[in-house]
Structure 1
Amino acid sequence: MTPSERSYPTTKSEQEWREQLTPEEYAVLRQAGTERPGTGEYTDTKTEGVYACRACGAELFTSETKFDSHCGWPSFYSPLAGDSVEYLEDRSLPGRPRVEVRCANCGSHLGHVFEGEGYDTPTDQRFCINSIAMTLRPKDA
């Protein structure tokens, strides 16, 4: 199910999303694309704050749960709140099912979550999130 096929608190037509987002943001957030590893602005960021959905502004993750996974994308071990993201089965890669993570407020694609891969985190999870899908709101701003 694509974001436009489901009802979310924040809804816009695909034309409205195209007008609001850059082509690169649209490709990731609305078409479930992925930015190239190591290219995102928040991959190595240590700034304290809250990461919000770039499409709708909903708060998703905090810097307190961000960790260095060395996977090429910003990684978190837990969302800000259990209901801030939603999970969908992703079978887009043959033979490698994954769990897609979307913004629960607008349905935008954020990335994927991986479990049980030996991460030294409180949840044993890695939320691998595209930088282009988020905006960092610094703590002291």
Structure 2
Amino acid sequence: MNFDTIDIVIFTAYCALILGIGLYVSRDKKGHQKNAEDYFLASKSLPWWAIGASLIAANISAEQFIGMTGSGFAVGLAIASYEWMAALTLLIVGKFFLPIFIEKGLYTIPEFIEKRYSTNLKTILAIFWLALYVFVNLSSVLY
């Protein structure tokens, strides 16, 4: 595979743009120390549409771009029912579970597991999720 000059220029410009946006957005207000709420909840300052877009974007991966697109072409639109169920699940989580997490001051599922049960279970769950991701998710995407 050969890269032309225009490919390198576009890639470099894209990387610089993403870095610039990231640095601009993450800058601190004077005298403000960032905490977990700033990182995980954006200081509770995002509008509803940005939160919804974030949930959908976090749910999209290589399965959707490669696997489900190919399956949709081969099988038909029925493959999209998987994503309709994911959207319904996200609505339920956002309506019923998210307010509880915010009220309790929890920002991540591992933090919930640690506070509810123990640090040992949080570590076991993290190892389990990593193994599940590597051996199930990544292997199916690579296949």
Same fold (TM over 0.5): no
TM interval, shorter chain, is under 0.3
User: Under a length normalisation based on structure 1, what TM-score does the superposition of the two structures give?
Assistant: 0.25
Q: Going by fraction, where is strand more abundant, 1 or 2?
A: 1
RCO (CA 8 Å, sep 6+): is it higher in 1 or 2?
A: 1
TM-score (normalizing by structure 2) = 0.25
Structure (1 or 2) with the larger CA radius of gyration: 2
Name the one with the larger helix percent.
2
